[in-house]
Amino acid sequence: MTNPEKTLLALLLSASIAACDNYTNETEEPVETEEPNEPADPEEPAEPEEPIEEENDFLTDSEGREFSYLPAGDLLPNSGPGHSDTTIYRPDIIFPLEDAAFLNSQVYRYGGSQGSVNGMEGGQCNAANYDYPWQDTFCESRSRSQIMCPDGGHEGVDIRAATCIPSSGETHWAVAAENGRIVGLDGSKYTVKLQTEDGTLYRYMHLDMSQLAVVDGESVVKGQRIGKVWNDFFNSSGESVPTTYHLHFEMYQNYAPDEETDPVFDQVSPYMTLVNAYERKLRGE
């Protein structure tokens, strides 16, 4: 090969190499950089949840004591058969005492003539007599017979006032359970009777008969004061008989044990009627 040919070949090779270099050295695309994150808006603090107020399923009296009662007919041991009557005969009456009250036995508890039967020796002002639960005394053992207590029994229920009157000296008023009229008061030594328009009869016993707030034949309205809780009591001979300070409360209705028996106007158990009235009283109804 001649020198001119060698020179030409060298030039061609140089040009090819340069072309290859230009092809492989492509410009790299710029790498995108992430922009700094903008600060997030601060979260608003969650509002605290309001506490859920739980409804109490119990009632308390004016002294904060929780009301409770034993079932109808559940008497103290050795105090009589009782009568398990859960009927609310008069659902709209008001409770016949203005203040708090305690239904329990006057005979078989502290201060009663038979208190020792259940180990309850002591005076009527024992604190246990002035506390819940209530206890029924309808058909408690007595010599008197009536349709609900065929073997003889207490014809109403006994109600202690809010405090023991001999020690507290406080006054506790009995009030009219319904609208009605005072009947048969003249000559009565220890009983006030209130009769409603439909014939229902209530008997209030052992009030202070010397300081009654009503007179015979007077029309009264529900809640009107009748007399003060006391301990007036006399036997059939007119002689004074000792008893505790309390209200004995009776309710008369036309009653028949079944559809085949003619109704008799007689005492019925007021226990559950009074429970219902007291619960409404504690609710402020």
- Is 202:232 a contact under the CB 8 Å cutoff? no
pLDDT band at 109 (very low <50, low <70, confident <90, very high): very high
Contact 70, 136 (CB under 8 A): yes
Check whether the bond before 71 is cis (ω within 30° of 0): no
Per-residue pLDDT band for 31 (boundaries 50, 70, 90) equals very low
Percent of the chain scored above 70 by pLDDT?
80
Q: Tell me the mean pLDDT in the region 123-152.
A: 92
Residue type, 6: K
Flag whether pLDDT at 23 surpasses 80: no
Q: Tell me the DSSP string of 250-284.
A: EEEEEE-SSTTSPPEEEEE--HHHHHHHHHHHHHT
pLDDT in the model for residue 150: 77
Model confidence at 152, in pLDDT bands (50, 70, 90)? confident
Give the SS3 label for residue 158.
Answer: strand
**Tens-place pLDDT, residues 186-205:** 999 999 999 999 999 999 99
Report pLDDT for 141. 94
Task: Give 118's strand partners.
Answer: none
Of 28-32, 143-147, 277-281, the range with the highest mean pLDDT is 277-281
Question: Contact 93/273 with Cβ under 8 angstroms?
Answer: yes
- The whole-number pLDDT of residue 149 equals 87
Query: Average pLDDT for residues 250-260, to the nearest whole number?
Result: 86
Give the H or E element holding residue 3.
helix 3-24
Q: Which amino acid is at 31?
A: V
The token pair at 174 is 């009995």
pTM of the model: 0.79
Q: What is the pLDDT of residue 155?
A: 93
User: Collapsing DSSP states into helix, strand and coil, what is residue 112?
Assistant: coil
Q: Which amino acid is at 148?
A: M
Q: Is 198 helix (H, G, I), strand (E, B) or coil?
A: coil
What is the spatial distance between Cα 150 and Cα 148, in angstroms, rounded to a whole number? 6
Query: Looking at the domain 102-283, which fold is it?
Result: Glucose Permease (Domain IIA) (2.70.70)
